[in-house]
Amino acid sequence: MRGLTDRLRVVCNVPESGIEEGPAVWKPTRKRLCVRNCFSLIEVLTVVVVIAILGSILLSAIGSARTAALVSVSKTRFAQWMGAMEAFRLEYGYYPVGGVGSDSSVALHEGGMGQRLVSILEGRNEEVNPRRVPFIRFTDQDFADPSDPDSVLVDALGQRAIHVLVDGDGDGRIRVAGYDFRGSLGMVSAPDPGTPGREVRTWE
């Protein structure tokens, strides 16, 4: 009988002092601890991935909103320039850029045309503006490098490729350079090839 009791005590892991009464205490095994730790790591990684996705969406939304705002500023800037060109036409009977007889597209970023337009509209070019009427005063924000007197004009996005589209045949519609819209004057800017940006059109 003594031998049977000893064997039962060993199998049941009962101390020699006898069976201790009291509430059963759950002791996590190494396997259970591993499972719990693994789940915690997965949860952390999931949260990190979700935060990264939300962050990229937020940054994209902020970038789109900023671009849209700069496009709006560019259109306002171009509207001021076109207003000055319209005032010039009322004064002299023709636009300071573009030809007569057919629609034309004038690249302000090529051949010093931007600087020429600035000098005309500011009343400094007596050849084209003999009365030296100042139709507009350009600001530092209008130039790529305000400290350079030969600097090209830019839109609010910093884009230099700017064209003035002129209704040269007087039919109230401009069809040139792949564009077709109603109006006597328009402007469009675009990013340089291979650079990010967005085309800005005054008639849209």
> What digits encode the pLDDT tens for the residues 47-87?
777 777 876 776 666 667 788 899 999 999 999 999 999 99
H/E stretch holding 173 reads strand 173-176
Q: Cβ(157)–Cβ(68) under 8 Å?
A: no
Q: Cβ(149)–Cβ(125) under 8 Å?
A: no
Burial class (CB in 10 A: 0-12, 13-18, 19+), 155: buried
Name the residue among 89, 93, 148 with its Cα closest to residue 121: 89
Position 29 scores a pLDDT of 56
* Higher local confidence (pLDDT), 49 or 156: 156
| Contacts (Cβ under 8 Å, ≥6 apart) of 9 | 15, 16
Widest CA span of the chain, in angstroms?
130
Find where tokens 């049941």 sit.
Answer: 12
Residues in the chain: 204
Summarize pLDDT for 97-124 with one digit per residue, the tens.
998 899 999 999 999 999 999 999 999 9
Summarize pLDDT for 130-145 with one digit per residue, the tens.
999 999 999 999 999 9
Q: Cβ(77)–Cβ(142) under 8 Å?
A: yes
Coil, strand, or helix at residue 92? helix
Token pair recorded at residue 15: 């101390």
Core vs surface per residue 84-112: b (16+ CB within 10 A) or e = bbeebeeeeeebbbbeeeebbbbebbeee
pLDDT class of 19 with cuts at 50, 70, 90: very low
